[in-house]
Amino acid sequence: MKERKIIPISHPVLAGNEEKYVQECLRTSWISSIGRFVPLFEEAFARFCGVAYGVATSSGTTALHLALLALGVKEGDEVLVPTLTYVATANAVRYCGAHPVFIDSEPRTWNLDPGRLEEHITPRTRGIIVVHLYGHPADMDPILELARRHGLFVLEDAAQAHGAEYRGRKVGSFGAAAVFSFFGNKIITTGEGGMVVTNDVALRDKLRLLRGQGMDPERRYWFPVVGYNYRLTNLQAAIGLAQLEQIQSRLQERRQIAQWYQKHLAPLGDRLVLPREESWARHSFWMYTVLLGDRVKRSRDEVIDALAEMGIETRPVFYPVHVLPPYSGNSSRCPVAEAIAARGLSLPTHSLLSEEDVSYIATCLKRACEESD
Ligand SMILES: *Cc1c(COP(=O)(O)O)cnc(C)c1O
């Protein structure tokens, strides 16, 4: 039987100093959350974002939770959240006993629609979480202006957008704080891991306190607050530092892949809506995500299944969080996000793809869309 090649949707690249740095941890036995790589990774990643401080965490989700707690989110508060995101964004609000209030997408970049924020502000609203979806930055200026006017915090969920830029500045440097993930399928990875970055030294200290079980930094085994163990290990930070050393190559490769997709998918015409990059944006192309056009009669899930048959792994766009069982209590409707979610799929996006692979994926996608034309 001929062995069929499977093209995975994502694939980490561990091509630099990962092994060397991990060996150092093993040799010196600094494998837990104390060790030189944790502060080195925090400092280097914060510098990469153009922000003063980084606080490394065990995941992007725990980074979100810590950031919301440090920003003062409490039981009964409301936080405005885009509905089109990975569920962790909303879950972190719930962990604080607060309520996510879901905001519809704008149709160009699929990020939260700044024009839909104000109508959802109530006396309980404390802040806004902005997600840079699939690596395209959200339009920060109107969001920051509105937040200032209403005294709300802005927290960036940049878990998918390492290195993306808004008006020439890296994402992660706009909000009171920003959160990144280093899960295995993100732009750089530590296996599991995350980070909060901020310019606010008081916020940094709160984040550190809460991350380390709430132990008073001046008085060992004295716990003034209930904290968490959300620490990143030195082993993970060693991998993270090595990954960060290569991030420019990873970002360039993603940009190249996006260009190849654009070239090879162009012949599909209005069967597909391709991702755009606004004039003020630099996309990080975490996942090259397309929408099926109205002309395609097959459902998105049928197209995904057909591609899987051809050995191509894809995935559906996130279900809008407001339709998921834990969040579907209020009958809010977000028609733009619902339409994107129904027609969207992410194609393989990782550094091991060649132009030949991308061209093959485009050919298969055309076939998958046409089978019922
Ligand atoms: C991946 C992701 C997270 C969560 O990160 P983990 O490291 O998986 O906990 C949060 N928000 C968004 C938008 C993500 O894509």
| 248-306 residue pLDDT tens | 999 999 999 999 999 999 999 999 999 999 999 999 999 999 999 999 999 999 999 99
Whole-number Å distance, alpha carbon 370 to ligand 1 midpoint, is: 34
Listed as ranges, residues in the chain with pLDDT below 70 are 1-4, 330-331, 372-373
Number of structural domains found in the chain: 2
Q: Confirm or reject: Cβ of 131 under 6 Å from ligand 1.
A: yes
Q: For 127-152, how does the pLDDT look when each residue is reduced to its tens digit (9 = 90+)?
A: 999 999 999 999 999 999 999 999 99
Q: Is residue 4 part of a domain?
A: no
Host domain of residue 136: 18-104+111-244
pLDDT at 330: 67
Q: Confirm or reject: Cβ of 160 under 6 Å from ligand 1.
A: yes
Report phi then psi at 76, rounded to 5: 90, -10
Same domain, 167 and 180: yes
Best of 79, 89, 130, 187 for a ligand 1 pocket test (most atoms within 8 Å of beta carbon):
89
pLDDT at 373: 47
pLDDT at 298: 94
Q: Confirm or reject: Cβ of 346 under 6 Å from ligand 1.
A: no
pLDDT at 2: 53
Whole-number Å distance, alpha carbon 292 to ligand 1 midpoint, is: 25
Q: For position 160, which CATH number holds?
A: 3.40.640.10
pLDDT at 332: 73
pLDDT at 95: 98
pLDDT at 370: 85
pLDDT at 324: 96
Sign of CA dihedral 275, 106, 85, 179: positive
Same domain, 69 and 191: yes
pLDDT at 149: 98
Same domain, 89 and 227: yes
Same domain, 55 and 174: yes
Same domain, 253 and 235: no
Ligand 1, atom nearest to 186 Cα:
1
Whole-number Å distance, alpha carbon 29 to ligand 1 midpoint, is: 30
Ligand 1, atom nearest to 185 Cα:
1
Structure tokens at 74: 């409490």
pLDDT at 372: 54
CA–CA dist 276, 344 (Å, integer)? 14
Q: Is residue 3 part of a domain?
A: no
